[in-house]
Structure 1
Amino acid sequence: MLSSADDARYMAAAIALSQRGRGRTGTNPNVGCVIVKKGVIVGRGWTQPGGRPHAEAMALADAGKAARGADIYVTMEPCDHDSERGPTCSRLVIEARPARVIIATLDVDSRTRRHGIDRLGEAGISVSVGILEQEAHRAMAGFFTRMEHGRPHVTLKLALSLDGCIARADGTSKWITGAVARRHAHLERARCDAILVGSGTLEQDQPGLDVRLPGLENRSPQPVVLGEAEPPENWVQISFPEEISGLADTNWLLVEGGAQTAASFLRADMVDRLLLYRAPIIIGGGLPGIADYGLESLDSAHGHWRREDTRDLGEDRLEIYERAA
């Protein structure tokens, strides 16, 4: 019998696997799944590009007959609604006859919510829910944000000097941060469905917004421009931050610049996560990272952000914040 510590360890492995699909699953959640038998992982899976196969289907195919009597760890409740793209995961799990199914979090889709676990229970399979729920929710935040708020999960990324500037007064911004921080920023691009800049950034910098990491070039997100600048071919153009709700197949959106664009998303209360790359330089008289977004008082600025992580990236420092309210 596995302990609660074992359950948490294997669920953490499933959550880690879920990140392999992040930014590639369209409107589907990036789920992870591991199958364990007698203390050995016999199957692994994560949601594939475009949303199919689902993580459970991939892991069950990997495990084969070894799934019978095993424990299945999955980061979200197995789907239980019919689809032309394949059988429900709840049915596939039942057919595999595992001993237990351990689920991190319920689905928020009304077509599946609680139906999946009820179906498993009716088939005589032991079901546990809530193991590392918060961690799984964070790992699949793009799906949850879209389902609950009708828009992608938004990360605002800023590369700043110590005095909060993103460029010199003449607009020069290459490079504020060092090579290690820039590589990390490209990894973040690879984990998103779409990436957005404002018209000013497009016209001045003409950014490619692609992923330039060896082996991840095919993970470049869909480029989007906010504003009136003429976009390059294959870019998407929107006029207001609220229009991100109409971006196709997008759970995760990265906003990269500039100051007015950052302010517009903050003003619209549509930023869920902050990535602040701070370089150990002082510019003085440079362009601020964020323009005025209508803050009424210092008191009203407090309580909105919770620091989740900090790390050194070469000479630079990364700070990650998430919405607190």
Structure 2
Amino acid sequence: METPAQNPAYSARAAHEAHAVTDTAHMARAVELAACGRGATSPNPVVGCVVLDASGSVAGEGFHAYAGGPHAEIVALREAGERARGGTAYVTLEPCDHTGRTGPCSLALLDAGIARVVVAVADPTPKAAGGAARLRAHGVVVESGLLAEEGERVNAEWLTYARLGRPYVTWKFAATLDGRSAASDGTSQWITSPEARADVHRLRAESGAIIAGIGTVLADDPHLTARPGGEARPAVRVPLRVVVDSEGRTPSGARVLDGAAPTLVAVADDVETRLKADLIRLPRHDGGLDLHALLRELAAREVVSVFLEGGPTLAGAFLRQGLIDRVIAYLAPALLGAGPAALGDAGVATIAATHRLAFDDVSPIGPDLRLTARPVLAPPRKES
């Protein structure tokens, strides 16, 4: 009786499956490395890279640590040295093919003698794309799409910015288990624990801008700065503070104008105001401001991601205009029974129009829960 080892087809299939498992493990490590650059690479993407030598052993690892610094491939190739020749590189984003503050990674891979490159996600920008084509033209084996979903997820902020021309929007709110963001008298400090608030500051520090509405500014006089503590890594640049204030009502003494961080105040283009602040004028829309226009203005300032901390009215407006990419909710084990809800009018008149989300993570934060979710597209309706 023939054994599996004596069957060439079986042996080839087993070798292929083992190879695929190895590829997946190395790309998973590259995704893990890419995440190390979060909050520090803007307006560049986060990228991770793992380089194997010709025998299949890990020779080098790297990630893009800060804008203007060496790209992930360069860091990994430097660590690998001569061992990279004839080896394989796993990269979460297609190697760039242009010269900016650094040289093309495609040429660096060629110069290092890499024989095979495995890519998770293609580069969507005309300026930087083309690395895969150049590598193939020089005889390098290039494979794309491995762990594409994971590669997209770790780089969601930059990919949204590159593809849609606007920043990635994270809406954060804190509430009791019955969905109240404040008590009936308007008090809201503090619904959640110090641990949850420290986590919020970490996320603020990873964002390019922090947005609040005029209602929040008038009610709470927030500072809107990032104050990461403990082991949190401070951002390379201070997040921009943005106040959505269509009528120009921000008080001149508001803490958000104190100079601790740069601040923009978005007002309607037909409003006369003596407010001494950096103003951006936007068209009116849907009873407020055109939030698409706001995000385009921020993208023009190389803001890749924003952290939305406005009250229920502003959150509802962002949701109605389809501009929320991620929701982070901090739920406290408490009940109020009355008081404002965390979300205002989101344009939902019937259950069929519900904004559906998919959970990405549920984690305890001190005594609270942090829920992370993203919008999902409704399935297409069947023709009757």
Task: Decide which of 74, 88, 97 is 2:104's aligned counterpart.
Answer: 88
TM-score (norm. length: structure 2): 0.78
Q: Determine the structure 2 residue equivalent to 1:320.
A: 372
The SS at the match of 2:187 is coil
- Residues 241-270 of structure 1, C-alpha deviations (whole Å, 9 max, x = no match): 221222222212111221112112112110
- Shift of the 251–51 alpha-carbon distance from structure 1 to 2, 3 Å rule, reads farther
Q: Gaps spanning 5+ residues in structure 1: where?
A: none
Q: What SS does the aligned partner of 1:292 have?
A: coil
What is the aligned length? 322
Bigger-Rg structure (1/2): 2
Unmatched runs of 5 consecutive residues or more in structure 2? 1-14, 268-288, 378-384
- Match 1:68 to one of 77, 80, 85: 85
Aligned to 1:301: 354
Superposed, 1:11-160 pairs within 5 Å as 11-37=27-53, 38-83=55-100, 85-113=101-129, 115-160=130-175
Deviation per CA, 1:168-190, whole angstroms, max 9, x where unpaired?
A: 12222222112332233233223
Q: Percent identity?
A: 34
The structural deviation recorded for 1:34 is 1.6
Equivalence for 1:222: 240
**Is the contact between residue 238 and residue 244 of structure 1 (CA under 8 Å) also seen in structure 2?**
no
Alpha-carbon contact 1:27-1:51 (below 8 Å) kept: no
Superposed CA deviations along residues 27-79 of structure 1, whole A, max 9, x for unmatched, are 22111112123454332222232243222122222322222222211101101
**C-alpha deviations, 1:103-141, integer Å up to 9, x for none?**
10111112344x211111121212111110011011111
Distance of aligned partners of 1:190 and 1:206 in 2 relative to their CA distance in 1, 3 Å threshold: closer
2:338 matches 1:262: no
Q: Which moved more, 1:258-267 or 1:187-196?
A: 187-196
SS where residue 168 of structure 1 aligns?
coil
Residue in structure 2 matched with residue 282 of structure 1 by the alignment: 335
Partner-residue secondary structure (3-state), 2:70:
coil
Work out the CA distance in 2 between the residues paired with 1:246 and 1:200.
22
Q: Deviations over 1:184-207 (max 9, x none)?
A: 323322332222112222232323
Letter of the 2:80 counterpart: A
Aligned partner letter, 2:156: A
Cα contact 2:361–2:373 (8 A) shared by 1: yes
In structure 2, C-alpha distance between the alignment counterparts of 1:191 and 1:6, rounded to whole Å: 32
Residue 270 of structure 2 corresponds to none
Tell me what 1:244 maps to: 295
Change in Cα spacing, 1:6 to 1:97, as seen in structure 2 (3 Å) is: same
TM-score (normalised: structure 1): 0.92
Which residue in 2 is equivalent to 1:200?
A: 215
CA distance in 2, matches of 1:48, 1:213: 20
1:186 to 187, 201, 204: 201
Cα pair 1:14 1:75 within 8 Å, conserved: yes
Letter in 1 for 2:164: H
Query: Which SS does the other structure have where 1:30 is aligned?
Result: coil
Alignment match, 2:6:
none
Cα distance change, pair 256–282 in 1 and its aligned pair in 2 (3 A): same
Residue 49 of structure 1: SS of its match in structure 2?
coil
The aligned runs of 1:165-184 (5 Å cut-off) are 165-184=180-199
CA contact (8 A) 1:35 1:41 kept: yes
Instruction: Give distance in 2, aligned partners of 1:55 and 1:295.
Output: 44
Which whole-Å CA distance do the structure 2 matches of 1:166 and 1:134 have between them?
Answer: 33
Q: CA RMSD in A?
A: 2.0
Q: 2: distance between equivalents of 1:154 and 1:274? A: 9
